[in-house]
Every structure is written in C-alpha cells, then in structure tokens.
C-alpha cells in the first residue's frame, strides 16, 4: 500500500541531501510532487530520477529567502497539481560556515540576519501560503526541519541553532492555530546525517568521535529522515501534531558523560585485567 497515494506535496531544498531522499521516498509512496530548490538543475535531476522510478514530480526553482519566489512556487503547484496536502519545509542555508556564523560575541550580524530571513522567515512564509490551500481540502500536514542545534549550545553556528529553535516553536504555534482545521504541523530534528556534502567531514577520526556520542551503531543517513517524514506526512500520524521528532541516534538522549564513561570503564577493565594477569 502506498502511504501518501495521490497526496500533493512540496519538498523544499530537495535537490540534494536529506530533501532529495525525502522527495524520492514521498514519490515512492504515491505522492504527486513539487521538487523545489534554489538549485533548479539539481531539482530537475531529482525529478528525472523520480520519474525513472515510476514516480510523478515536477521541478521548481525557489529561494525561500524571497517572498515573491515562494508565491511563485505555490502558484506553480496549484497550476500543476491543483492543490496541496503536504509541505516539507526542508530547505536551509546550510553553507554559512562556522567561521562567519560563529560564537555570539563574534557572529557577523549580516549572516545572523540572513540565517533568520532564509531559514526561519522562509519556513514561516511557506507555511503561511500552505495553510489556506490545506484548509480548503479539509486538512494537511506541514513538516518543518529543526536540528539538534536547536536544543543544546555549541561553540559555533549560533545563528543556525537559534533559528532552528524558532522553527520548533513556530511548529507548535501553527499546530495550535490550525489543528481544528485538520492541519497538523510537526518538526523533524535530524542529528548528524551523513549527506554527500558532509561525508568527507565525518570520515575518519572525527566520525569515530561523533559516533562515540551516539546510542546507535552508525551515524544517520538521509533515508532515516525520509522514514520519519513519510509517517508524519501520512494519515497514520493523524493524532500527532505540535511535536518535534528527534531522529538523531539518541545523540541528545543521554548524560553528557556517556562516551567518557564508556572509555573510562573499558580502561578500568583493561587495567583490572592487567593487574589480574600480574597476580597470576
Ligand atoms: N545533514 C545534517 O546533519 C543535518 C542535521 C540537522 C539538520 N539538518 C537540516 O536538514 C535540512 C537539509 O539539510 P542537508 O544536510 O540535506 O543540507 P544540504 O545543504 O545538502 O541541502 C540543502 C538544500 O537546500 C537548498 N537551499 C539552500 N538555500 C536555499 C534557499 N534559499 N531556497 C531554497 N533552497 C535552498 C540547497 O540548494 C540544497 O539543495 C536543513 O534544514 C538542515 O538544516 C541537517
């Protein structure tokens, strides 16, 4: 059974990484898709792949930092498919590097403003355009994209983490204001997801260090997010709204000393074994 058969869906930021996996999975599950991205060629490539696998999709260029561009995306969706049931706000300016989106004391204010304008305001604007369309069809599902960065402090990426925290509360506000209209709004907070862009970064020692802080045996993959997305988009999640769904291998679900404790216990065990060997 296809879980979102004939539902009309927009996925933003769908040319690469997590968004591409989510778009492919929604298409597999029967959705009629708009694959939207700043990178039109990338979006067109994803549409080609989706169609090759038997799915239905069109590509659109969108800049979620610009209201007129978001309006054009929704106009195209209406012209192509005639409505909207699912909006996955996945796009984010992820390329603002930690050297410019730095600690609060050093953050470039222009980068701060761009991050809020593109990621937070863009998510709000797209959701706002989706609401009347979903209302007119008796309901719908909006799935926003947060991050573990929204839920804990770090040395850099201050603007990114703060805008994602805003997206988490935007999610609750939309859920509260539109639940009685049959519109659900949830957010997925991915942990460390290895995408083509981050693959090199997590290779080797850094990847091993990161993995030691997870409760799972591997880091995340874009498909892990796509599984959660399909559930939240489908009617199986009819009683789920206003939630932030962490898909992060338990990264934020343990005591901060978890990895240190494992290392210390194994060092203790090794030294006890050595003592026992010496005594024998
Ligand atoms: N990869 C991770 O580890 C991770 C962790 C937590 C949260 N996230 C979130 O997941 C989402 C996807 O991340 P990803 O790793 O796949 O990123 P990515 O950089 O691989 O993909 C982001 C996509 O968004 C597009 N985009 C950028 N600016 C845009 C704009 N103004 N308008 C429209 N599209 C735009 C890019 O062209 C790109 O295709 C983002 O919201 C990101 O913050 C990712």
* pLDDT, averaged across the chain: 95
Long-range CB contact pairs, 260-268, < 8 A, 24+:
262/212, 263/212
Atom of ligand 1 nearest to the CA of 149: 6
Query: Parallel, antiparallel, or unpaired for β 183-190 and 86-89?
Result: unpaired
Residue 109 maps to a domain: yes
- With a 6 A CB cut-off, is 145 part of the ligand 1 pocket? yes
Q: Give the pLDDT confidence score for residue 24 in this predicted structure.
A: 98
- With a 6 A CB cut-off, is 16 part of the ligand 1 pocket? yes
**DSSP label at 146?**
-
Q: In this structure, what CATH number is given to the domain that contains residue 151?
A: 3.40.50.720
Residue with CA nearest ligand 1 atom 27? 93
Residue 265 maps to a domain: no
State yes or no: is 160 an active-site residue: yes
Q: Give the pLDDT confidence score for residue 277 in this predicted structure.
A: 85
Residue 122 maps to a domain: yes
Q: How far is the CA of 277 from the centre of ligand 1 (A)?
A: 53
- Counting the structural domains of the chain, the total is 1
Name the pTM for this structure: 0.97
Q: Give the pLDDT confidence score for residue 143 in this predicted structure.
A: 99
Q: Give the pLDDT confidence score for residue 199 in this predicted structure.
A: 87
Residue 63 maps to a domain: yes
Q: How far is the CA of 233 from the centre of ligand 1 (A)?
A: 19
- Give every residue of the chain whose pLDDT is below 50, as ranges: none
């Amino acid at each position: 059974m296809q879980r979102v058969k004939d539902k009309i869906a927009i996925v933003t930021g769908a040319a690469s990484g997590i968004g591409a996996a989510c778009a492919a999975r929604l298409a597999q599950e029967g959705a009629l898709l708009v694959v939207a991205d700043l990178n039109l060629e990338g979006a067109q490539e994803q549409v080609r792949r989706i169609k090759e696998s038997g799915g239905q999709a069109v590509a659109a260029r969108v800049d979620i930092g610009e209201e007129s561009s978001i309006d054009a995306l929704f106009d195209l969706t209406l012209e192509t498919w005639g409505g909207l049931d699912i909006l996955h706000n996945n796009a984010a300016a992820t390329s603002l590097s930690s050297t410019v989106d730095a600690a609060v004391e050093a953050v470039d204010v222009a980068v701060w403003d761009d991050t809020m304008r593109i990621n937070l305001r863009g998510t709000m604007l797209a959701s706002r355009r989706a609401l009347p369309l979903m209302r007119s069809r008796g309901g719908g599902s909006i799935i926003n994209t947060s991050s573990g960065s929204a839920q804990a402090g770090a040395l850099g990426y201050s603007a990114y983490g703060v805008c994602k925290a805003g997206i988490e509360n935007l999610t609750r506000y939309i859920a509260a204001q539109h639940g009685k209209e049959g519109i659900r709004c949830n957010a997925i907070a991915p942990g460390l997801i290895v995408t083509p862009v981050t693959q090199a970064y997590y290779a080797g020692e850094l990847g091993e260090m990161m993995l030691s802080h997870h409760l799972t045996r591997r880091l995340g993959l874009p498909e892990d997010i796509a599984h959660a997305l399909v559930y939240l988009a489908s009617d199986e999640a009819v009683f789920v709204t206003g939630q932030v769904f962490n898909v992060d291998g338990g990264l934020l679900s343990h005591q901060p000393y978890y990895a240190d404790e494992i290392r210390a216990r194994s060092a203790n065990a090794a030294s006890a074994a050595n003592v026992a060997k010496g005594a024998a």
